[in-house]
Amino acid sequence: MLTSRLIVWVRENLSAIAALTVTCLAAFIVGEASLLLIPVAFAVGFLLQPRLLWPLWLWTLGIILVGNGVNAIIDPEWWSDTGETVVSVFFESLIFLTGLVLLPLWLGRASARAFGRRRAV
């Protein structure tokens, strides 16, 4: 039952997942590209109006945390050079992505509903 609900959710949000994933990967290549998450998340919220926002936010959080983990494995001195800990990276990512992804997703969906835009099927 849980697996079928997960498959349905992925099928409904595949374009949103793809848009946010590409933007997150671009942020790893070019650090300043992380600011692109704001308009992309707003557009996803406005155009696609996902029913549940928090799984998309958790998806981007997972991408960022896995990317930071891979970065730490590739360059172990990164942790000592920056003074970061696993806990600080987690909470910084949590707060960072709340402002860059969750809030614009919510604002995009709310503005679409305010303008009377119907949810894409």
| pLDDT tens, position by position, 96-120 | 889 989 999 999 999 999 998 876 6
Task: Give Cα 57 to chain centroid, integer Å.
Answer: 5
- Long-range pairs for 61-68: beta carbons < 8 A, 24 or more residues apart: 61/93, 61/94, 61/97, 63/20, 63/21, 63/24, 63/25, 64/24, 64/93, 64/96, 64/97, 65/89, 65/90, 65/93, 67/24, 67/28, 68/93
Taking only the tens place, the pLDDT of each residue in 4-39 is: 888 888 888 888 999 998 888 888 888 778 888 899
100 falls within a domain: yes
AA letter at 24: C
61 falls within a domain: yes
CB of 32 within 8 A of CB of 26?
Answer: no
| Domain membership of residue 103 as a residue range | 2-114
pLDDT category, 121, cuts 50, 70, 90?
low
Q: How far apart are alpha carbons 73 and 118 in whole angstroms?
A: 45
pTM value > 0.85:
no
25 falls within a domain: yes
121 falls within a domain: no
Considering its fold, how many domains does the chain have in total? 1
Task: Scan for tokens 């990276």, then name that residue.
Answer: 89
Q: How far apart are alpha carbons 50 and 73 in whole angstroms?
A: 34
120 falls within a domain: no
32 falls within a domain: yes
CB of 80 within 8 A of CB of 35?
Answer: no
